[in-house]
Structure formats: C-alpha cells, structure tokens
Chains A and B, each alone.
Chain A
Amino acid sequence: MRTRTWAPYALIAPTLVLMAVFLVYPIGSVVYYSLQRYNVTQPWKNGFAGLDNFKQMLFDDPLFWQSLVFSAKWVFVEVGLQLLLGLILALVVNETFIGRGIARALVFSPWAVSGVLTTGIWILLLNPSTGIFQELSELGIGSPGTSVLGNPDTVFDALVVTELWRGVPFFAILLLADLQSIPKDLYEAASVDGASRWRRFTSVTLPHLKDAIILSTLLRAVWEFNNVDLIYTLTGGGPANQTTTLPLYVARQAVDSHNFGYGSALTVAGFLILLFFSILYLRLSKFGSRA
C-alpha cells in the first residue's frame, strides 16, 4: 500500500541517524584522512599530503602487497573449506535421526564463541606440553613436543583449522536454513522416478541451493576478509608479518603506530576491493527486482 505518511520515516529515523554518524560519515572522513599526513605521534608534520600516501602504498610498501596476497590466500582457503565442510554438515544435520536437536545445538555452538576465545581454547589444545599432540604421542601417534603454533611451516594450517572450528557452523546454519525450504515433494517425485541418493543431491538439492551458496560464499568471503580478532590474537600477524591481512595491517597502523593518514589510505584500498565484491553481490542477488 502506498501511503503518504510520515510514519515510516519516523520509524527508520534512528537507524538513519546512527548509520549517518557511525558508518557514512566515517567512510567520508577516511577518504579525507587518506589525503593527509595525519600521525598522532608526530602532529607537527600533519597537513595535506595529496596522493603521497597512495604512492607510498603502491610503490614503497612491500608489506601492503604482502598483506594483500595473504588476505587473498586466507579468504580463498578458509571460505573454500567452510563451503565444503559447511555443506556436508548442513546435509548431515538436516537428516532425521534421534538426538538431532541436541546434535545441532552442539555442532553449531562454536559459532557463538568469539575469535579471542577461540584462540584461547586452541592455544590450550595445541600447546606442546599438555596439548592434544602430547596426548596423541603417548598413544604412539606423532612425535612428542610437536609445536604447530611455534613452527612457521604449520602456523598457517593451525590458523585455518582454528577458524574452521567456529566458521563451519555458521556456514552450515546459513545453508541449513535454505535446505529446509526445499519442498519435500521434489525428493519424493525424484525417488519415485528411481533417482539415487547422489542423483537427488545433484539434481534437486544443489540447483536449489545454488543461489544461497553463491551469496553466502560472497558474504562469507567479505567477513573473512574483514576478520581481525582471531588472527590478531593467535599470531599477531607474525611470524615476520607472514599472516598479516590487510585489515590487520590497518589496525596495526592505527592502534600501534597512530599513523592515521597512511592507515586511511590502506583502508581506501580495502574499500575499493570490497566495493567490487558488493557490486558482484548486488548483481547476483538481483537486488531490486524483488524489492
């Protein structure tokens, strides 16, 4: 119904104000700061810098490129595995079996746990002297004193598995929501036609999930790109900046170096990358055609 009334505007007003002050204005000011020399620890140098920050970023900062490459690797590996495992998990807990409610609550529960807490839990599990590898070595599996977090060769794997622990459940929840919307008749019709379990999966389930998979993967990719708390607390971006993502690099420039100007330029670069993903998302979700 189309009404000429002030009511909807009054209802969304608080949201609009909050978004304007805490989301829109900050984005504008990031762009402004990115053109400034703005360092809280060296205020006498502050002033207009033009594109100097961007020149420095693109041409004189190997760490920018390194963090970008690591971000891409992180998102690709993490989201790929989450999609695969999350889909399997969603299919499993969508089946009917005794204790399904409890099983769902249990396997989904790590999602509620913060990145910092996840780090804490996995540090306990992986520590070389009393962690799980020590216990396994006493059973004759592996060698005692294995330190996956202290070894540069394995620290990335540890990071990936740790994030999977709390990431897979959320992906599974997203996909489960969509699995439940598939009409049961489709499966019945398929079985009457003699379709095997695998055939039903590929001809009924997957096509139905296609949109949800694409959209949640995109959304998840953005969220994982932006993920800071887990990497910050587990590796701090190390060793030797090997696990520094772009947002982590920004946070370090802001929190540790108080280099707001350069940090803002890095932020703008991040925004441009994410802008690409948002446009892709809006295109694929056919935004507007349904509104």
Chain B
Amino acid sequence: MTETLTRPPVNTPPPPRKPTKRRRRAVAEEPGKRWLIHVPLVVYLLFTLIPFYWMIVFAVRPTGSTQLVPWPITLEHFDTVWNDIGFGIFFYNSVMIGLGVLVFVTILSTMGGYALARFKFRGQRVFLLALLCTQFIPGAMMLIPLFVIFKGAGLLNSLTGLVIAEVAFQLPLALILMSGFVRNISYELEEAAMVDGCSRMRAFFAVTLPQLKPALVAVGSFAFIGAWNQFLFALMFASRQDKFTLPVGLSYALGEFNTDFGALAAGGVVAAVPVVLVFAVVQRFLVQGLSAGAVKG
C-alpha cells in the first residue's frame, strides 16, 4: 500500500487505453467537478431521511425524553399500539388485503396484458382507451356510488369488499404495464414451441412466464404497496374497528392520541417497515416497468 502511495506519479506507467475507455473519458469531462453531484444528493438525502429518523426516535425513546440519539431504547410504545390500540389487528387486515390485491391484480393483469400484447381483436382500441381513461377517475369521487353498491352487496366492513374495490381501481394501470412487459419479450420462442406441438397455454407457461418474472415482481409489489396504503375506501367502507387497516388506524391515532407522540410514531413504524422494505427490494424493477410504457400510454 505505502509503496504505491509514495511512488512518484511520474514513474507510473501510462495505463493501456482501450478505445472504448477513451470515448468514455470524453463524456466524463471536468473530472474535478464530478464530486459536485454529491451536494444535491446529500441535501436530498437529508430531506428524505430526517423525517424517517424523527419517527424512529419518537418510537423507541421513553415518553418525555427529548434525546436526539435515544439510549436506552424502549419498546413500550410498540406494546401500547400493538396490543392496546389494536395495531396487531390492523396489521393483520392490511397484510390480508395487500396479499389479496397482489394475487388478483397480478393474475388478472397478466391475462389481460397478454391478450393486449399478443392478439389483435375487435374492440382492442376501445378497451385500451377505456384503460387509459380510468387513470383520470378520482377515487374520492366514486365514494358515493361505491358505498351504495357495497351496502347493497353486504360488503361493508369486510376485507373481501376492500380487496375487490382496490383490485378494480388498480387493475387498469397494472394491465397497461403488463402488456408493455409482454410486448418486450420476443414472440418467436413461444411460436416455435407452438409449432412443436405445444398448446398456446403450455407455450405461455413454459416459455413466456419465466421471462416475465421481473414484471410479476414489479406489478405485484406495485399492487401490494397501493393496497397497503389505500386509505379512503378503507375509511369509508370499514366502520368497525376490527376491520380497520393500518392507514385508518393511524388516522384514528392522529385524531385521538394527539399528545401521545410515542404511540403515533410506533404505529408509523409498524405501517412503514413492510412497505419500505418491499419498495427497497423492487424499486429498480419499478423503473424498468415504467419505462416499459406506462407513461407513454
């Protein structure tokens, strides 16, 4: 180590340059200024992370403490929200709804996305147009008719009802995304399999589905995150506390426990951890997925 450090730079043999490397250097000019990229990055990281940090600090330090670096940490607030306020139940409800929506959105959007990408059929353009238009339908403004429908169907205060409503609202965008993914997978292998005597369905499961794995991860986690965070339907359609989801429970905590910041923060951590973890794992698939055609329609 020291030898390389103390060796005068004049003696260093010039590294062999491949042509590609020279071209890359041409782009990365002004090498002295490259560290500047870290200035906005650090500023933005602070903006992002300080609020998270504040929540965690409130969640783990004893009531009344004002330490910024909490030590010793306490789990009393988690005990309060999980057992006394009922976040254990809310957590269960949110997981069930999130998984339900994930399963249905993934399966139905794969079916529909495949249909859009691989077939030409009468009414296709109208269907695609309808899918696009749903992006402009405000959930809040559908509350009244949906409430009437749900009441009529006996789906108020049921997790099933919330799953159905959320699937209906998420499916159009998921389907558009999925058809973009399917279109990016070459059709030739699938065709070859069919020429070899596979049914279309077998060809799909054997050839195309394995290549769709990143798409399934992206669409599924998108659906899970959306369902996990759904607030308005859950607030409107679940009035019984044992059917509350985490966002509804949190909004309740915001109103009722204004002063108990520890409990509020602990509830926030419970609500944030699963979804932020899911997101951290899948965010690069999301970027790919969006470039596969969501924005371009």
Answer yes or no: do A and B interact. yes
Residues of A within 8 A of B (CB): 1-3, 5, 7-9, 11-12, 14-16, 18-19, 21-23, 25-27, 29-30, 33, 88-89, 92-93, 95, 97, 101, 103-117, 119-125, 127, 130-132, 135, 165, 169, 173-174, 176-178, 180-181, 184, 187-188, 191-192, 197, 211-212, 215-216, 219, 222, 225-226, 228-229, 232-233, 247-248, 250-251, 254-255, 260, 263-264, 267, 270-271, 274-275, 277-278, 281-282, 285, 287-288, 290-291
Task: Say yes or no: B141 contacts A116, CB within 8 Å.
Answer: no
Interface of A is mostly: helix
Task: Say yes or no: B54 contacts A121, CB within 8 Å.
Answer: yes
Pick the contact of A197 from B30, B38, B276 — CB < 8 Å?
A: B30
Residue of A nearest to B232 (CB): A228
Give the complex CA separation of A93 and B297 in angstroms: 25
Task: Say yes or no: B144 contacts A119, CB within 8 Å.
Answer: no
Task: Say yes or no: B124 contacts A291, CB within 8 Å.
Answer: yes
Answer yes or no: B189 CB below 8 A from chain A CBs.
no
Residues of B within 8 A of A (CB): 23, 26-27, 29-30, 34, 37-38, 40-41, 44-45, 47-52, 54-55, 58, 66, 68, 108-109, 111-112, 114-116, 119-121, 124-125, 127-130, 132-149, 164-165, 167-169, 171-172, 175, 200, 225, 228-232, 235-236, 247-248, 250-251, 253-254, 261, 264-265, 267-268, 271-272, 275-276, 278-280, 283-284, 286-288, 290-291, 295-297
Q: Which of A22, A117, A197 has the most CB of B within 10 A?
A: A117
Interface of B is mostly: helix
Give the complex CA separation of A25 and B119 in angstroms: 27
Q: Chain A contacts of B27 at CB under 8 A?
A: 184, 187-188, 191
How close is B146's CB to chain A, nearest CB, in angstroms?
6
Give the complex CA separation of A93 and B276 in angstroms: 19
Known: A116-B251, A121-B51, A180-B287. A216 touches B137 (CB 8 A): no
Residue of A nearest to B41 (CB): A92
Task: Say yes or no: A11 contacts B276, CB within 8 Å.
Answer: no
Give the complex CA separation of A113 and B246 in angstroms: 12
Q: Chain A contacts of B148 at CB under 8 A?
A: 29, 260
Task: Say yes or no: B121 contacts A9, CB within 8 Å.
Answer: yes
**A–B complex contacts, Cβ < 8 Å, 10 sampled:** A18-B168, A22-B142, A23-B137, A30-B145, A117-B271, A124-B55, A178-B291, A226-B139, A290-B296, A291-B128
Q: Chain A contacts of B146 at CB under 8 A?
A: 22, 26
Q: Chain A contacts of B50 at CB under 8 A?
A: 125, 132
Pick the contact of A14 from B111, B120, B200 — CB < 8 Å?
A: B111
Give the complex CA separation of A254 and B116 in angstroms: 37
Task: Say yes or no: A211 contacts B296, CB within 8 Å.
Answer: yes
Q: Chain B contacts of A14 at CB under 8 A?
A: 108, 111-112
Total contacts A to B, CB within 8 angstroms?
Answer: 311
Q: Which of B58, B145, B265 has the most CB of A within 10 A?
A: B145
Give the complex CA separation of A108 and B175 in angstroms: 23
How close is B168's CB to chain A, nearest CB, in angstroms?
4
Q: Chain A contacts of B49 at CB under 8 A?
A: 106
Known: A173-B286, A174-B295. A23 touches B134 (CB 8 A): yes
Known: A109-B279, A211-B296, A215-B295. A120 touches B55 (CB 8 A): yes
How close is B109's CB to chain A, nearest CB, in angstroms?
8
Task: Say yes or no: B283 contacts A108, CB within 8 Å.
Answer: yes
* Nearest 6 interchain pairs by C-beta: A114-B229, A26-B145, A177-B291, A22-B168, A112-B279, A247-B140
Task: Say yes or no: B37 contacts A92, CB within 8 Å.
Answer: yes
Task: Say yes or no: B52 contacts A121, CB within 8 Å.
Answer: yes
Q: Chain A contacts of B26 at CB under 8 A?
A: 188, 191-192
Task: Say yes or no: B175 contacts A105, CB within 8 Å.
Answer: no
Residue of A nearest to B267 (CB): A120
Task: Say yes or no: A285 contacts B251, CB within 8 Å.
Answer: no
How close is A201's CB to chain B, nearest CB, in angstroms?
13
Q: Chain B contacts of A26 at CB under 8 A?
A: 142, 145-146, 149
